[in-house]
């Protein structure tokens, strides 16, 4: 039994490694491959380089992406990081709330400033 203890530790560490690292990575790869295989013309996409565009044409291994009116780029399917869904929330309200919070903080700081005499303004 003493001889099996080190072997059991190695097997346990290997199983934990597989569960925490290898299995989730395989799931992510399958999901990315599924998304890249299901791309159709007219879908807005984001490339791995961060470029946004709309799929104009598809081929087995390549896509024609329109990144600006009249500007098309031919890319490999693997270059697509994600498909932009129409139901995703717009990020601009989140940016506006940050500005509002900063303005509120500035107003609060202005209200509590004191004069040179030591009195509050």
53 CB burial (10 A radius; 0-12, 13-18, 19+): buried
* pLDDT, averaged across the chain: 80
The pLDDT score that the predictor gives to residue 4 is 85
The pLDDT score that the predictor gives to residue 117 is 57
Q: Which helix (H) or strand (E) holds 81?
A: strand 80-83
In angstroms, the CA 114 to CA 102 distance is 21
Which residues of the chain fall short of a pLDDT of 50?
A: 92-102, 104-112
The pLDDT score that the predictor gives to residue 106 is 46
In the chain the domains, ranked by start, together with CATH numbers, are 4-87 (2.30.30)
The pLDDT score that the predictor gives to residue 26 is 94
pTM higher than 0.85, yes or no? no
In angstroms, the CA 24 to CA 46 distance is 23
């Amino acid at each position: 039994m003493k001889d099996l203890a080190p072997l059991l530790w190695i097997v346990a560490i290997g199983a934990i490694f597989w569960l925490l690292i290898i299995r989730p990575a395989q799931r992510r790869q399958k999901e990315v491959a599924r998304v890249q295989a299901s791309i159709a013309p007219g879908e807005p996409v984001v490339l791995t380089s961060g470029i946004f565009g709309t799929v104009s044409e598809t081929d087995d291994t390549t896509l024609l992406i329109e990144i600006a009116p009249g500007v098309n780029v031919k890319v490999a399917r693997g270059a697509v990081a994600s498909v932009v869904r129409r139901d995703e929330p717009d990020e601009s309200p989140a940016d506006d709330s940050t500005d509002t919070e900063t303005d509120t903080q500035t107003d609060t700081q202005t209200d509590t400033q004191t004069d040179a005499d030591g009195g509050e303004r």
